[in-house]
Amino acid sequence: MDPTPSAKRTATVGNPTRRRPRWRGRGSVTTAGRGGLPGRTVLDHATRVVSTVVQQVWPGEVVSIGPQLPSVTNYVTAVTVREGWFVAKYSILGTSLLSILRGACGPWDRVEAAQRDYVQQPTAQLARERSQLRALAAHARRTEGSLRVPAVIAYQDGVLISTASSGSSLAGELVRGRIAPDRLLTDVIAIATALHRDQFLARELSGSPALATPHTSIAATFARKFTGVEASCYLDSLGAGWLGGSARTQLATSFRVLREILHPLLRRLPAPVVIYGDLKPEHVLLDTCGRQTWIDPGLQRGDPAAELAKLLSRVALLLITSRPSLARMDAVGAAMDLLVTSFVARHPRPDGITALRRLLVLLLADWANYLASGLSVPPDVTLPLPPMLLEATGQAQSLLRLAGEAAASLTIDPARAWGTVLAGTLDLATGQPG
Ligand SMILES: Nc1ncnc2c1ncn2[C@@H]1O[C@H](COP(=O)(O)OP(=O)(O)OP(=O)(O)O)[C@@H](O)[C@H]1O
Ligand SMILES: [Mg+2]
């Protein structure tokens, strides 16, 4: 029995593009200032709870916990036991770990007390994720389709343990893989479309509303961040500790301009089907035969445009932040364009243009949500954050300029807006100023 993960095995959990994660060598977390919670206390708590559950799941086995995997939201860690690799996930109050560390839910003793009740709730975030993974596994068995999801090993005391998939992620594969990007992305959309059409999942979700992930759609997140009573304060606080006063004022203005255009268009979007909800390149893992396993579902009723918008938004950010070879970049850009063209073609005229507008509103709103999350990270928190978040945040000004330019032609000419997004993405990815 070898309880210690070898360097090689540790690196291949999840995504090989993270072979040298930037947080390695730093402490996992530092103390957040100004009302924030001591990061060590929070992470020690999470590690302790995960260890206890793991000992109960594999009694008498030597188990090793770590490394912590990149997440903005939860404590996620690899777990190694003799029989292999697993992933353990632990959510505190269903709120992002960053917010907890910022002190948004109050002092630690209050959070800890609330957490004891929270983990017993059947609607706790990870209880829901367990049910969704089971529903998706049932869907995969029934349809004999190509979607796979991790198997649930246990859910106990708020800790979800599932099987790990080694291999690359769609993100790594798009940037430097061997499979053609158009094939990769077309496969993803084919799997998503089969999900949208599945009556079994639709029945499961309407029969058990608690199964759906609430308030996480692109539109709901945008409304929460940018239009609530605290939106003004929130916008003015973005970038604090990272950027000087005038750069922050400029950023807040760019967000406000985007809000004026996007908010009216985001209201009352249709929700005709069940969507996966959080379909992004890091959530699609590929084995050596190219078979896909999807992780971290956020099943909800939604617009198929929202599914595609999230995927395109994150693939664009991936290109901008990882700067693949020119040939690969062109191929990914062409694959994105193909997806959009096919999406528009699936809608009879003149609905294609309306659908394209919906798609782009959602894409730009997702950019705004993503950048705002990055800009609200306190500089002294060194959680293992996804490298793409940090890189994209570093380019927030150029990205917001591009988003504003695309948004300006959304109402009159969505096709032109898409051209702006695609060309601007490739420009930023090749290092041309936005
Ligand atoms: N079953 C798995 N197999 C391999 N790697 C995994 C698995 N589950 C999670 N990971 C890795 O851990 C990372 C974080 O997991 P996950 O997305 O489930 O957490 P999260 O808290 O929802 O993160 P975020 O909010 O950033 O999406 C993933 O991006 C992936 O790299
Ligand atoms: Mg995730």
Cβ-based neighbours of 271, under 8 Å, separated by 6 or more: 300, 301, 302, 303
pTM above 0.75, yes or no: yes
pLDDT digits (tens, 9 = 90+) for 246-271: 999 999 999 999 999 999 999 888 88
- Ligand 2 centroid, distance to 299 Cα (angstroms): 13
Which tokens hold the place of 372?
A: 């705002």
Q: Indicate if ligand 1 lies below 6 Å from the C-beta of 164.
A: yes
**Residue nearest atom 27 of ligand 1, based on CA coordinates:** 71
* Distance in angstroms (rounded) separating the CA atoms of residues 87 and 392: 26
Q: CA 341 → CA 66, 229, 334, 418, distances in Å?
A: 43, 39, 10, 10
* Distance in angstroms (rounded) separating the CA atoms of residues 434 and 432: 6
Cβ-based neighbours of 268, under 8 Å, separated by 6 or more: none
Q: Which ranges of the chain have pLDDT less than 70?
A: 1-36, 382, 433-434
Q: Indicate if ligand 1 lies below 6 Å from the C-beta of 295.
A: yes
Cβ-based neighbours of 92, under 8 Å, separated by 6 or more: 42, 46, 74, 75, 100, 105, 111, 115, 118
With contact defined as beta carbons under 8 Å apart, do 385 and 375 qualify?
no
* Distance in angstroms (rounded) separating the CA atoms of residues 385 and 108: 22
- Ligand 2 centroid, distance to 323 Cα (angstroms): 22
For residue 65, the Cα-to-chain-centroid distance in whole angstroms is: 23
Q: Burial code of 226-243, b = ≥16 C-beta within 10 A, e = fewer? A: beeeebeebbeebbeebb
**Residue nearest atom 29 of ligand 1, based on CA coordinates:** 282
Beta strand ranges found along 113-249 (DSSP E)? 152-156, 159-163, 168-169
Tell me the helix, strand and coil percentages in the chain, rounded to 5. 55, 10, 35
Q: Compute how many other C-beta atoms are within 10 angstroms of the C-beta atom of residue 46.
A: 23
* Distance in angstroms (rounded) separating the CA atoms of residues 199 and 431: 45
What pLDDT, on a 0 to 100 scale, did the predictor assign at position 116? 97
Query: Taking CA 362 as the corner, what is the angle to CA 96 and CA 392, rounded to the nearest 5 degrees?
Result: 55
Query: Taking CA 284 as the corner, what is the angle to CA 382 and CA 346, rounded to the nearest 5 degrees?
Result: 125
pLDDT digits (tens, 9 = 90+) for 331-346: 999 999 999 999 999 9
| DSSP annotation of 163 | E
**Residue nearest atom 4 of ligand 1, based on CA coordinates:** 14
Q: Indicate if ligand 1 lies below 6 Å from the C-beta of 306.
A: no
Q: Indicate if ligand 1 lies below 6 Å from the C-beta of 153.
A: no
With contact defined as beta carbons under 8 Å apart, do 195 and 147 qualify?
yes
Q: Indicate if ligand 1 lies below 6 Å from the C-beta of 87.
A: yes
Atom of ligand 1 nearest to the CA of 166: 4
With contact defined as beta carbons under 8 Å apart, do 404 and 348 qualify?
no
- Ligand 2 centroid, distance to 414 Cα (angstroms): 30
Atom of ligand 1 nearest to the CA of 278: 27
Which tokens hold the place of 425?
A: 């993405």
Backbone CA torsion sign across 348, 354, 360, 365: negative
- 351-375 helix and 326-345 helix, angle to the nearest 10 degrees: 130
What pLDDT, on a 0 to 100 scale, did the predictor assign at position 36? 66
The residues that bridge with 13 in the sheet, in sequence order, are 166
Nearest ligand for residue 294 CA:
1
Q: Which domains does the chain have, with CATH numbers?
A: 7-162 (no CATH), 167-429 (3.90.1200)
Q: Indicate if ligand 1 lies below 6 Å from the C-beta of 126.
A: no
**Residue nearest atom 7 of ligand 1, based on CA coordinates:** 164
What pLDDT, on a 0 to 100 scale, did the predictor assign at position 4? 33
What pLDDT, on a 0 to 100 scale, did the predictor assign at position 348? 79
- Ligand 2 centroid, distance to 297 Cα (angstroms): 8
- Ligand 1 centroid, distance to 229 Cα (angstroms): 32
Which tokens hold the place of 232?
A: 């003004």
Q: Compute how many other C-beta atoms are within 10 angstroms of the C-beta atom of residue 159.
A: 25
Cβ-based neighbours of 137, under 8 Å, separated by 6 or more: 149, 151
